[in-house]
Chains A and B, each alone.
Chain A
Amino acid sequence: MNDTTITVRRKFDLTNFFLSYGFYILFAVMFVVCGIISPFFLTKDNLMQIMWGATTLLVVAAGGTFVIITGNMDMSVGSLALCSSAIAVYAMNHGAEFSHMVIIIFAVGAAVGAVNGILVTYCKLNSMLATLGMMTLLRGIALNITNGGAQTTLPDEFRMAADFKIGGIAVLIIVSLLILILFQCILRKTRFGAYCYAIGCSEESAKRIGLPIRKVKMAVYILSGICAAFVGFVTCCKVGTYSGTIGNEMEFDVVTVCVMGGTSLLGGRGNIFPGTFIGVVLLYLINNILALTGASPYIYPFAKGLVIFAAMYVDALKNYRRRT
């Protein structure tokens, strides 16, 4: 993993430069091209719109990056977002108020995160399969207690939280960016972050030198669960109603943006702030520019898939060169 630090490159290698920063270059090029294609793209309103759409995925992907860096996977985030808000809606129907609902949402997130953590650390199940099972289970619970995800109007406070602005920027955007920066600091500047990288590089070695592997993994899964609950909360705020489509297919989006941002699925490599952040923004940028140019909405997923494939291919070429 760290053999790159030994070789000191004095000569500027153009190919290597392109491969290392290929994803950022792709992003910059797309940004410029979008600006040329549509005059509305670079307006403040439109950029705010992209960020507004990205708030949910930003936070859950930041939590997911922690999980992937430790070499595990959390496929239950989308269903957990749905389930936490569904339980809150269930409580609302039985007389809970706004503050109780918020507490319930985050408590469910933390609790399910802990269950995931126990399955993966103490029962030693394969993280992908176990969380896939949880994904099915949580979606079932959520749809079952809310009559198949029927639309439900939520208290006005949710809508008010979404409309609240500081200096013209919605407070939800600011909060999610702050969370992102906080997580990046945790990852890079604290002992906990270093433990995450160590476990991802080699769990065996981490165990040998006496790191608290189980505690770290549990913490990572609980963090991911809370982030997923945040998605449920924010989606409820944005729309003002609950429906069964919250967090649909989000688990695959999380893995996609993390990997596009340079996080390795094998663990031990990756970062949140430039990497995952740009991955998320790129994903929303594709939809945004297609909408601005008035393309048929049926092309969206196909175009999205092609860009994702290109980004991942560049990432793979980089690793290929590094290995040989």
Chain B
Amino acid sequence: MIRTIVSDRKKLLDLITLLAAVIFVIILSAAVPNFLSLNNVINVLEQLTTIGMLCLGMTFILIIGGIDLSMPAVLMAATVPGAMIMSKTGNVLVGVVIILGVGIIFGMINGIAIAKARMIPFIVTLSTQIIANGFAVMITNSKSVFGLPDVFLFLGIKIGIVPISIPIFFIIAVISHIILAKTKYGRIFYMIGQNENTARISGIRTDLYIFCTYIIASIYACIAGILLAARTNMAGATMVGNTMLTDTISAAVIGGASLSGGKGNIFGSVLGALFITVISNFINLMGYSYYVGLIIKGVLIVIIIALDRLRNRE
């Protein structure tokens, strides 16, 4: 069996990647005090929820062969008005509906422009990113919103020592995995990503599927926003840092998705997001400055993309 694995270059590289990850974790736990302590593990998982949720949405988008640069911006643009309503009236239901509503509107703008007007995803989502960011800045005047109602903050509390957002994230990840891997729709997503023309000729309504995918991605961004706002008890136009977009895309690509479409899976993306979070956590625990962290992350992203390129070489 080992011989067959070694003879297959792709499997060999997969094995090496896995081995490298294990060695990496061992080195980390040896070098960094408290790395494997229960508190830190839970801390990492809690931070994982934001980037992980965005990464799930990005996986869907990358699988159908698109890209969505607007996700972190939509997260803020959707969460801010909902949070404002909630802190003013205390009505959680209306607030959540507004968050999802605004997110879906942005998703629809993306979807219509890409599926119907046939614009290039990169350009469309680039401009919706600017619009969504501007919207969040405009309605808050760059001030943060505080004082969210207690019922909403329930999403940010801990049961025992486990924050409630962690099981929510994993349940959503499992549902996404089932949709992608086990249902007819999942197959269709992959088919569109591999060759859109073939899919259209085979009688699939590709424009409808592409339209829906961008809405799905926006909904993931909204859920990430709700969980983040509940955890930090605030919402604002700088809720997520400006490295979030790069982190999300690299997490999905580390997890096996490809910018040319048709590849990727939820399990890989969750691992990719975990990897990015662990790196940030490692930098924090070692007491390096944020700037050194950027250098480490940049180098790792380039190395990993190069490895991925090696793995997928024909």
Contact = CB atoms under 8 A, between A and B. Distances in A.
Given A136-B243, A301-B137, A309-B131, A125 B298 contact: no
A266 B120 CA distance: 9
Nearest to B293: A140
Contact of B305 (A129, A144, A259, A312): A129
Contact of A304 (B134, B297, B299): B134
A141 B141 contact: no
A119 B253 CA distance: 17
Contact of A133 (B69, B113, B298): B298
B292 A140 contact: yes
A286 B296 CA distance: 38
B130 A133 contact: no
Given A136-B297, A305-B127, A320-B117, A144 B134 contact: no
Interface string B236-278: 0000001100100110010000010000000000000000000
B298 A134 contact: yes
Given A119-B302, A144-B292, A265-B123, A316 B134 contact: no
A124 interface: yes
A143 B298 CA distance: 13
Contact of A137 (B124, B298, B305, B309): B298
A319 B301 contact: no
Contact of A299 (B124, B138, B290): B138
Contacts, number: 143
B295 A141 contact: yes
A305 B130 contact: yes
A128 interface: yes
Given A123-B306, A129-B305, A140 B127 contact: no
B118 interface: yes
Interface residues of B, number: 47
Interface in B116-142: 117-120, 122-124, 126-135, 137-138, 140-142
A132 interface: yes
B19 to A, nearest CB: 23
Contacts of B117: 313, 316-317, 320
A148 B288 CA distance: 13
Contacts of B138: 296, 298-299, 301-302
Contact of B294 (A136, A299, A302, A319): A136
Contacts of A134: 298, 302
A17 to B, nearest CB: 20
A173 interface: no
Nearest to A136: B298
Contacts of A139: 294, 298
Contact of B133 (A123, A129, A305, A320): A305
A138 B243 CA distance: 13
A255 interface: yes
Contacts of A132: 246, 249-250, 301
B124 A312 contact: yes
Q: Which range holds the interface residue count of chain A?
A: 35 or more
B225 to A, nearest CB: 19
Contacts of A124: 309
A129 B259 contact: yes
B246 A140 contact: no
A301 B297 contact: no
A130 interface: yes
A152 interface: no
B127 A308 contact: yes
A125 B305 contact: yes
Contacts of A137: 294-295, 297-299, 301-302
A254 to B, nearest CB: 11
A301 B140 CA distance: 13
A136 B126 CA distance: 18
A57 to B, nearest CB: 15
Contacts of B242: 249
16 contacts: A119-B306, A126-B305, A132-B246, A132-B249, A133-B250, A133-B299, A133-B305, A252-B130, A265-B122, A296-B138, A296-B141, A301-B134, A302-B138, A308-B130, A309-B127, A316-B119
Interface of A: 119, 123-126, 128-130, 132-141, 143-144, 148, 249, 252, 255-256, 259, 265-266, 296, 298-306, 308-309, 312-313, 316-317, 319-320, 323
Q: Which 8 A-B pairs have the closest CB atoms?
A: A137-B298, A140-B294, A302-B134, A301-B134, A305-B131, A133-B301, A140-B295, A305-B130
